[in-house]
């Protein structure tokens, strides 16, 4: 299922292109005319929500906090800052292929295992809205 994403300005273009190659519609902050303007994170989330797009970012704590306080959003995926772009995209694609629920009001975080792993080293964790992780 193809999804619509909105990437904030710190999100790697390589990952944008990988998601697009998987058939997803990704609008970057640059393409939307929203980059390099110092737009607050809550306004970034409002823009993504107003356009019906899932926010994708590497800006962890600010968006975790917004997830817990924002009334509604189209969904958020926070990726660990790591140069293994292919591994991160594979982890979220695999997760989304298995979990067919809407991402509305959900926050998913793509994290890296702290131990040496055989196979996929990234995994997806869902964050609740009331502090339960």
Domain ranges in the chain? 4-127
Give the pLDDT of residue 114: 77
CA quadruple 56, 53, 41, 47: dihedral, nearest 10: 160
> What three-state secondary structure class fits 32?
coil
Task: Judge contact between 57 and 7, C-beta under 8 A.
Answer: yes
List, for the chain, all residue ranges whose pLDDT scores fall below the cut of 70.
117-120, 130-133
Give the pLDDT of residue 5: 98
Give the pLDDT of residue 115: 74
Token pair 């695999």: residue: 94
Single pTM value for the model: 0.90
Give the pLDDT of residue 71: 80
């Amino acid at each position: 299922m193809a999804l619509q994403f909105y990437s904030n300005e710190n999100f790697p273009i390589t990952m944008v292109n990988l998601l697009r190659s998987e058939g997803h519609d990704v609008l970057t902050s640059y393409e939307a005319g929203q980059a390099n303007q110092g737009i607050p994170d809550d306004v970034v989330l409002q823009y993504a929500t107003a356009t019906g797009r899932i926010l994708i970012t590497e800006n962890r704590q600010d968006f975790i906090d917004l997830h817990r306080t924002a009334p509604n959003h189209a969904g958020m995926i926070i990726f660990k800052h790591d140069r293994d772009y292919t591994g991160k995209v594979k982890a979220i694609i695999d997760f989304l292929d298995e979990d067919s629920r809407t991402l509305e009001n959900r926050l998913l975080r793509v994290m890296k295992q702290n131990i040496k792993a055989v196979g996929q080293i990234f995994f997806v964790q869902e964050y609740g809205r009331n502090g339960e992780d």
